[in-house]
Amino acid sequence: MSTEHLANMRRNYTRDGLLEEAAPQEPRTLFEYWFNDAVATEQPPVEPNSMILATVDHSGQPHCRVVLLKGLDAQGFVFYTNYTSAKGRQLAEQPKAALTFFWPALERQIRIEGTVEKISAAESDAYYNMRPLGSRLGAWASDQSQPLASREVLEQTLAELEERYATQAPPRPEHWGGYRMVPQRMEFWQGRTCRLHDRLNYQLQADGAWSRERLAP
């Protein structure tokens, strides 16, 4: 693909804008409103709860991957993974991260920055036990982010686990569980025509209140 072809690839955003009078003073309410819109509007293969998780390793190298939002509470945004995976190790070294949601049909993006903490074992157990059996066994079978000799090795490990837990439910592995992103900054982006997009930025203050300001597109 040529540079000229890439340079000419663009989409003109045409949906309604995001104005201060239509936005709450704190970001949680706006997130829930936009998320519910995405659930009602986005179509497969888009998953409304998919989000890009960015972490940083000990050398300062950023790493990004797509994960799924699996919980939302008053404290923050919850996702699950292998604690010994690359992202788990990075979060242990630097418990700060960023999330990005993008919903193309709505022409909306939300960026979230904050600190990350492990959720309780009880919370992780509750979610793990809700998962399909194959996903629960997969948490045992995969030594996530480590070198793997072949696909066959992984499938053989899974087969052995299926046999081991044929008559009993597998417990949650200690190396697998949830994290909660506690937001300190949330930016809401609404696409507008001529690239003059709307951006509302919310910043958590020392007293626990949120400030709100408009950013230039």
**Phi, psi (5° rounding) for residue 106?**
-90, -10
Q: pLDDT tens digits, the chain, 217 residues: what are they?
A: 777 776 676 677 677 889 999 899 999 999 999 999 999 999 999 999 999 999 999 999 999 999 999 999 999 999 999 999 999 999 999 999 999 999 999 999 999 999 999 999 999 999 999 999 999 999 999 988 888 889 999 999 999 999 999 999 999 999 999 999 999 999 999 998 888 899 999 999 999 999 999 999 9
Q: 72 has which bridge partners? A: 77
pLDDT given at position 6? 65
pLDDT given at position 115? 98
pLDDT given at position 13? 66
What are 57's two structure tokens?
């390793």
pLDDT given at position 24? 94
Closest CA to 172 of 133, 213, 215: 133
Q: Is 195 a catalytic residue?
A: yes
- Catalytically annotated residue among 195, 199, 212, 214: 195
Q: What is the DSSP string of 93-117?
A: H--EEEEEEEETTTTEEEEEEEEEE
DSSP 123: H
**Residue range 13-129+174-214, CATH number:** 2.30.110.10
Q: Which amino acid is at 204?
A: L
pLDDT given at position 28? 96
User: In a 3-state reduction of DSSP, which class is residue 55?
Assistant: strand
Per residue in 35-72, pLDDT tens? 999 999 999 999 999 999 999 999 999 999 999 999 99
DSSP 128: H
CATH 2.30.110.10 range(s) for the chain read 13-129+174-214
